[in-house]
Amino acid sequence: MAIQIILLCGLVIFSGLAILFKDLLKAALSLAVASLFLGIIFFRLGAPYAGVFEISVVAGLITVLFILTIALTKRGDEVTEARLVKLAFPVFFILFLVIDGLVMKSLLQKIPALPSGPEAGSFGQVLWQQRTFDLVAQIGVILAGVLAVLALFRKKEEDKDE
Amino acid sequence: MVFSFIVIPLLVAAFLPLIGKFSKKLLPDVLTNAALAYLLFNSILLVKPIFHQGVIVQNLNWLGEKVNLQLALDSFNLFMLFTIALVSLCISLFSIDYLEHYGHKSTFYALFLVMIAGMNGLVLVPDLFSIYLFLEVAAVASYALVAFGLGYDELEASFKYLMLSVVASAFALLSIVIIFGMTGSLNFQAVAQGLQDLEARLVVGVCVAFFIMGFGLKAALVPFHAWLPDAHPSAPAPISAMLSGLLIKVSGIYALFRVIYSVIGITPVLSRLLMALGTVSMVVAALLALGQKDIKRMLAYSSISQVGYIVLGLALGTPLGIAGALFHLFNHAVAKGLLFLNSGSIQHITGTRNLEELGGLGKKVPVTAGTNLVGSLSIAGVPPLAGFWSKLIIIMALIQAREFGYALVAILASILTLWYYLLIQRKAFFGRVADRWLLVKEAPFWMSAANVVLALICILAGIFFSPIFKTWISPAAEALARGVQQVLMWGL
Amino acid sequence: MSPTILLWPILFPAAVAVVLLLIPFRVRYVREILSVLSSGALLYLGFLLFSQRHLSLVSDWLGLGINFDLRLYHFSSFILLALTGFLFLICLFSAVKMKNHPRVREYYGYVFLAAAFSNGAVLANNFVLLVFFWEALLITTYALVTLGLKPTSHRTAVKSLIIGGFCDFAMILGIGLLWASTGTLTMDKIQVEPHGLTVAAFVLMMIGAIGKAGAMPFHTWIPDAALDAPVSFMAFMPASFEKLLGIYLLARITLDFFELKVGSGLSILLMIIGAATIVFAVFMALIQKDFKKLLSFHAVSQVGYMVLGVGTAIPIGIAGGIFHMINHAMYKCGLFLSSGSVEHRTGITELKKLGGLAREMPWTALGFSVCALAISGVWPLNGFVSKEMVFHGALETGYPIFAIAAWVGAIFTFASFLKAGHSVFFGPRTTEVPKTRESEAPIVLPILILAALCITFGVYNKLPLQNFIQPILQGRVEAGEHLDFTAHALDLFNPIAGVSILCLIIALGIHFYGWNRGGKKAYLASEPIHNLPVLHKLYDLSEARFFDLYEQGIKFLQWLSRLLFRFIDRPVDYVYEKVVTAVGRTFTGLLQKAHNGQYANYLAWTVGGLVVVVWIILQLLK
């Protein structure tokens, strides 16, 4: 239980950091760490497929992509940040968490239990027989990710050419 | 036949990087445009069957085994598919010349096609989770495309877009998960049936709020809009056109209203809420657009404002309102696509997008200036261009529903729209030619051609709007309204 | 005759507009010849349709009762004939005046487009169609004003767009309300008693109509445009086309759509607007120092007579208002064209610098004089007849105050035209103007045609009254009452005409007295008589006696003018120019500040928005 809480806190803190950092590189790093936490949570909750997908696509592919390209690119001028703006997000976030905590608990009780039935079965069976179409979409996502790598790393080659 | 809308772009996209190894320009250009032209042709061919049958549901067999691969096509979907194919074909024509100095055309086209595949998939699937997945397909491709220029600003914009978009997708997914948890199914009809049997108004209410936030962010409704003015101008012009013209409509408006109309059912409460959101977007973004100096930023804010109109019309829920909103969706896709491409032409010609630096280009580049004028006037709602009719229909629908307040705001916002489009015209094209632009030349052939085609569509759709309205828009609106009737009220 | 001919007055000028836009700038004569010929053809079409009288073209369009519905009947055919006639004269005039304009292509294109839209608006029998053409006119007006090519032209054009847009917007709302209460958009099917919601509809639609006609307080762009827009535009739009359209719609509103009762609140509202417009604008006109600007204020002032006449809801008043509309279009068009003729030859429109042009430009001076006498209401010209009818109507309502206002207007109209004519065409020749000669025939001809029409319509006033005006009022007059305007003794010898003539005499007195006092150059001619021993004393005496009176009177008038200018004209102007712009700018600035590129900030809005949406949904569910 303690580990769960630590993982959740880590997830929340790093997500928040990813948002609050003005420096893109730090922000992207925080996002990677946050998705890593999420992946671990998925594993622990017994959803290894989701965990793998999360770590490979989100934490791995996209964020690493960003970190590398950002690191390779020169930074623009530092924008001075208003104090008020810095406060706005934490305030809303905390407000959201509080409301979430208050509302969700009562709401969750009202959600009827999942009717066991039509879509039960092993993951593979479900995936192949009922959710085939999702595979097409997954292929699309992965294709897009791969192409994104191709697109965002081309600059390096061009620099060499010049 | 229907399946090809997803498979063909994906297949071409998969092979393009390989083809790009030995043909840097010609083959990618030809293949991409051919694929999109085929999709356009295909969507026109489907008009007749849809007209006779109403709905086509296609199941696919895989190696003799029946797999669950279901696509549903009705007039509303077809209308969206047609719009996507038409606008994206023009955009890819434009890219032939525009992408010359970016390099790596094949990768660009591949991502472009993946995005189209994602949108087509999103439009065709009758299933909540698949909507989420295809949303992600289009989104991931669009992140990379926004950052395609690889400058710091572009990466920053893309990253911001990614972060906010992920939040949005997460909330949409959360909502889908809760609904799955309650009903045990994901198919639209089954979920609608399941929700009807349940007594869980509060939970569903929260789910709807998550949907509104998630899809509303994709559609850039105020206050979920802030990523758009950064992301859209940063992208290369064809991608800006794609994002503003199509992506926000498909992954935002289409997804939101498909879910609301076909699954949850439009109820007075939702209708009121969404109308308020639409109106706020319309006004706030119009005011913001007034203050912009960068053409593309102005256009981006204008997109938010026009999305407000569409949402207002769709949320009203009367047949006339839906039809007007769909027509406006089409008109805006065409005209905003045109204007973003045009801003690309301007940038190509002069090297700047700052309105303060431009001036008097009208005499030097008549095609660019003329098409820009047509697009601007169409969006601003000047007769007899297409945008006038769609706005008029939306306003008439509001009056018919006795929503005089909203009608008033809609008319006032259209005056604001006219104002800032006239600003573009005056600053960029009218007046004396600034000395530094004395030697500029008209944009290359394909860029001008794409602009001209889109401008012609604006004009023709305005002049022949009556037959277009009858054959395309009304059936689509009826299909949507039928969805409402199928979803019985569950008491929200 | 096939009803499809009704499409011709709309499609033909539109096609001509496209052709004219496409003719390259360098090609000479073709443009002018084409425009004159095609406007002549349109005029012929106008006669043809006028002889038809009743035609109707209906085809399905948008569904929901929105049909493509054109209807030709006596009223619309009359207006159509007038529109095509004025278009022809303007084209004739422009053929010379505008031929060297750098944007002459656009000019002709917009003029013919405007003609197409105006014809469409007059023929429309469906409100949506009407609004379509009405709104489109706004754009052509905007474009034509910008063709003045002055530094401030664009600003004035925007002003016309904003004011026109506001009026049209009011009209659309009014039509919406009318639709909501009657359930139909077909114009000839609507006939309601104004009460409750429909009163609001009436007022809103009336704003649309009088706004197009340029009545107070929607007039402020017209005097600006007088200086900023081409003079042929002034003769084309504010002097003729907009008056015809605006009063046409106003008459339709008060006669057909709503039943305006004599002495009802709405009738009095209209009469107040009319009377206020007459008096206010004429005082403004009196102090103008520019020829075109003076005319433009009269273009506003005369609308007052039309609105007042139509607003009386008494047959003779309405007939007078409509008759005044066509009369005004004729002489004001003629006046603007003659000012254009002067500008064409001298390049000057300031009264101070002009003078004694009658010898060099006799035909222009003749045309101007006839038109000026007509607008002043001198017997037996057309302005006299229609003004008399309005006076009769105003008196018959039982509120003599409106008739008095109209008379006050008449005094100062004449006074200001005496001033204008005197300083431009008569009096001594000034040195600022080089030696010149009469303008070319295409410029003079329209002026003379209009002057001749002014005389014809005045002397043979029964002709237009019985052919044009009377059919419009059919059904308005109670059974048995013979619609005979001579019953009101529209001749020289009746008390009302007496008062009018007295007004003219007062005006004459005012003018000559002021002219004397001001020591104008023409005054030198009478200097010897002035210096005669006995008379000199008399002059001194009168000078001493009347000096204060006159000066104070003038001062009071000037003060009044300034007061009106400062407290009515400017605030109204301020609202259009400043408040709308400033409010927009402030909001834009505030919103822009909020968009500072901070990702955290944006996410905060998103999360905040979500909280609000959830809260609203939960609240609504409770």
User: Would you kindly state where each structural domain of chain C is located, as residue ranges?
Assistant: 531-588
CA dist A59 → A63, B76, B214 (Å): 6, 37, 21
pLDDT-derived band at C489, boundaries 50, 70, 90: very low
Q: Per the structure block, which two tokens stand in for C461?
A: 């006033």
In this complex, which chains have at least 3 CB pairs below 8 Å with chain A? B, C
Residue B20 confidence (pLDDT) above 90: no
Range of the domain at B278: 4-486
Q: Which residues of B touch A141 (CB under 8 A)?
A: 133, 136-137, 140
What pLDDT is stored for residue A159 in this prediction? 43
Quick check: C605 and B209 CB within 8 A? no
Mean pLDDT of C237-254: 86
**What's the CA gap between C107 and C237, in Å, rounded?**
13
Among A124, A117, A130, smallest CA distance to B59 is for A130
**Closest chain A residue to C609, measured at CA:** A92
Residue B195 confidence (pLDDT) above 70: yes
- B239 occurs within a structural domain: yes
Mean pLDDT of A93-115: 62
What pLDDT is stored for residue B86 in this prediction? 92
Q: Which residues of C touch B432 (CB under 8 A)?
A: none
Shortest CA gap B190–chain C (Å): 24
What pLDDT is stored for residue B66 in this prediction? 58
pLDDT-derived band at C595, boundaries 50, 70, 90: low
What pLDDT is stored for residue C525 in this prediction? 31
Burial B303-326 (b: 16+ CB within 10 A, else e): bbbbbbbbbbbbbbbbbbbbbbbb
What pLDDT is stored for residue B490 in this prediction? 37
Quick check: A89 and C604 CB within 8 A? yes
Quick check: A20 and C596 CB within 8 A? no
Q: Does A148 touch chain B (CB under 8 A)?
A: yes
Quick check: B208 and C617 CB within 8 A? yes
What pLDDT is stored for residue C538 in this prediction? 46
**What's the CA gap between C511 and C554, in Å, rounded?**
11
Residue A153 confidence (pLDDT) above 70: no
Q: Which residues lie across from C63 on neighbouring strands?
A: C66
Closest partner residue to A134 among B114, B133, B180, by Cβ?
B133
Residue A86 confidence (pLDDT) above 60: no
Q: Which of B202, B210, B287, B318 to mutate to test the interface with C (most CBs of C within 10 A)?
A: B287
Q: Which residues of C touch B291 (CB under 8 A)?
A: 585, 588-589, 591-592
Residue B372 confidence (pLDDT) above 80: yes
Q: Which residues of C touch B168 (CB under 8 A)?
A: 606
- B492 occurs within a structural domain: no
**What's the CA gap between C251 and C448, in Å, rounded?**
29
Mean pLDDT of C187-203: 81
Mean pLDDT of C299-304: 88
Mean pLDDT of B298-320: 90
**Closest chain A residue to C594, measured at CA:** A85
How far separated are the first and last CA of chain A, in Å rounded?
A: 56
Quick check: C607 and A103 CB within 8 A? no
Q: Is residue A1 located within the same domain as residue A67? A: yes
State the average pLDDT for chain B: 83
Q: How many domains does chain A have?
A: 3
Residues with Cβ within 8 Å of residue B18, at least 6 apart in sequence: none
- B164 occurs within a structural domain: yes
What pLDDT is stored for residue C426 in this prediction? 81
CATH number of residue A29's parent domain:
1.20.120.1200
Beta strands in C183-268 (DSSP E): none
pLDDT digits (tens, 9 = 90+) for B217-251: 888 888 888 888 888 888 888 898 998 889 999 88
CA dist B103 → B20, B25, B221, B351 (Å): 11, 9, 34, 18
Quick check: B288 and C585 CB within 8 A? no
Closest partner residue to A92 among C596, C599, C607, by Cβ?
C607
pLDDT, greater one: C556 or C195:
C195
Quick check: A152 and B153 CB within 8 A? no
pLDDT-derived band at B350, boundaries 50, 70, 90: confident
What pLDDT is stored for residue B245 in this prediction? 87
- B469 occurs within a structural domain: yes
- Interface confidence (ipTM) of the complex: 0.72
Mean pLDDT of A10-34: 76
CA dihedral B310, B312, B318, B321 (to 10 degrees): -40
Quick check: B114 and A107 CB within 8 A? no
Q: Per the structure block, which two tokens stand in for C99?
A: 């031929």
What pLDDT is stored for residue C544 in this prediction? 43
CB pairs under 8 A between A and B: 150
Residues with Cβ within 8 Å of residue B61, at least 6 apart in sequence: B67
The number of helices, as runs of H, and strands, as runs of E, in chain A is: 8, 0
Mean pLDDT of B359-367: 79
Residues with Cβ within 8 Å of residue C425, at least 6 apart in sequence: C356, C357, C358, C361, C364, C365, C368, C369
Shortest CA gap B163–chain A (Å): 8
The region of weakest confidence among B58-67, B406-415, C225-234, C421-430 is B58-67
Q: Does C612 touch chain A (CB under 8 A)?
A: no
Residue C145 confidence (pLDDT) above 80: yes
**What's the CA gap between B463 and B460, in Å, rounded?**
5
What pLDDT is stored for residue C397 in this prediction? 83
The region of weakest confidence among C70-79, C264-273, C601-610 is C601-610
Token pair 């292509």 is at which residue? C105
Quick check: B159 and A132 CB within 8 A? no
Shortest CA gap B314–chain A (Å): 28
Mean pLDDT of C342-363: 82
pLDDT digits (tens, 9 = 90+) for B73-131: 878 888 889 999 999 999 999 988 888 777 778 888 999 999 999 999 888 888 888 88
What pLDDT is stored for residue C200 in this prediction? 85
Quick check: B291 and C589 CB within 8 A? yes
Mean pLDDT of C293-321: 86
pLDDT digits (tens, 9 = 90+) for B428-439: 887 777 777 777
Other residues' Cβ atoms within 10 Å of the Cβ of residue C353? 15
The region of weakest confidence among B24-28, C264-268, C294-298, C428-432 is C428-432
pLDDT-derived band at A89, boundaries 50, 70, 90: low
Other residues' Cβ atoms within 10 Å of the Cβ of residue C52? 15
Quick check: C608 and B223 CB within 8 A? yes
Shortest CA gap A62–chain C (Å): 19
Q: Per the structure block, which two tokens stand in for B49?
A: 């069957």
**What's the CA gap between B286 and B305, in Å, rounded?**
6
Any alpha helices (H) in B46-187, and if so which ranges? 47-53, 75-98, 105-124, 128-146, 152-183
Closest partner residue to C135 among B229, B383, B416, by Cβ?
B383
Q: Which residues of C touch B217 (CB under 8 A)?
A: 606
Residue B335 confidence (pLDDT) above 90: yes
**What's the CA gap between C505 and C499, in Å, rounded?**
10
Closest partner residue to A137 among B137, B158, B181, by Cβ?
B137
Mean pLDDT of B4-14: 87
Q: Is residue A160 located within the same domain as residue A139? A: yes
CB C234 within 8 A of CB C225: yes
Q: Does A136 touch chain C (CB under 8 A)?
A: no
Q: Which residues of C touch A103 (CB under 8 A)?
A: 614, 618
- B491 occurs within a structural domain: no
Residue C66 confidence (pLDDT) above 80: no
Helix (H) / strand (E) containing C68: strand C66-72
CB B331 within 8 A of CB B387: yes
pLDDT-derived band at A47, boundaries 50, 70, 90: low
Q: Is residue A105 located within the same domain as residue A56? A: no
Q: Which of A143, A149, A159, A160 to mutate to test the interface with B (most CBs of B within 10 A)?
A: A143
Shortest CA gap A94–chain C (Å): 10
Closest partner residue to B466 among C62, C136, C616, by Cβ?
C62
What pLDDT is stored for residue B306 in this prediction? 92
Shortest CA gap C174–chain A (Å): 44
Q: Does A135 touch chain C (CB under 8 A)?
A: no
Among C328, C390, C339, smallest CA distance to C82 is for C328
**What's the CA gap between C450 and C448, in Å, rounded?**
5
pLDDT digits (tens, 9 = 90+) for C248-263: 888 888 888 888 787 7
CB pairs under 8 A between A and C: 41
CA dist B180 → B122, B204, B303 (Å): 19, 11, 33
Mean pLDDT of C142-155: 82
Quick check: C173 and B404 CB within 8 A? yes
- Chain B neighbours among A 18-47 (CB < 8 Å)? 18-19, 24, 27-28, 31
pLDDT-derived band at C230, boundaries 50, 70, 90: confident
**Closest chain B residue to C177, measured at CA:** B399
Quick check: C592 and B288 CB within 8 A? yes
What pLDDT is stored for residue B18 in this prediction? 83
Q: Which residues of A touch B150 (CB under 8 A)?
A: 69, 73, 152, 154-155
Q: Is residue A161 located within the same domain as residue A98? A: no
CB B315 within 8 A of CB B278: yes
Residue A73 confidence (pLDDT) above 60: no
State the average pLDDT for chain C: 79
What pLDDT is stored for residue B113 in this prediction? 92
**What's the CA gap between C307 and A118, in Å, rounded?**
76
Q: Does A113 touch chain C (CB under 8 A)?
A: no
Q: Which residues of B touch C603 (CB under 8 A)?
A: 163-164, 167
What pLDDT is stored for residue C551 in this prediction? 44
What pLDDT is stored for residue C264 in this prediction? 82
Q: How many domains does chain B have?
A: 1
Helix B152-183, helix B128-146: angle, nearest 10 = 180
Q: Which residues of B touch C64 (CB under 8 A)?
A: 320, 396, 400
What pLDDT is stored for residue B67 in this prediction? 59
Residue C346 confidence (pLDDT) above 80: yes
Residue B301 confidence (pLDDT) above 70: yes
Residue A80 confidence (pLDDT) above 50: no
Residue B421 confidence (pLDDT) above 70: yes
Quick check: C595 and B223 CB within 8 A? no
**Closest chain B residue to A74, measured at CA:** B152
What pLDDT is stored for residue B329 in this prediction? 92
pLDDT digits (tens, 9 = 90+) for C509-547: 777 777 776 665 433 333 333 444 554 554 454 344 343
- B480 occurs within a structural domain: yes
Quick check: B205 and C139 CB within 8 A? no
In this complex, which chains have at least 3 CB pairs below 8 Å with chain B? A, C
Range of the domain at A102: 83-111
The region of weakest confidence among A89-93, B140-144, C607-611 is A89-93
- Helix, strand, or coil here: B70? strand
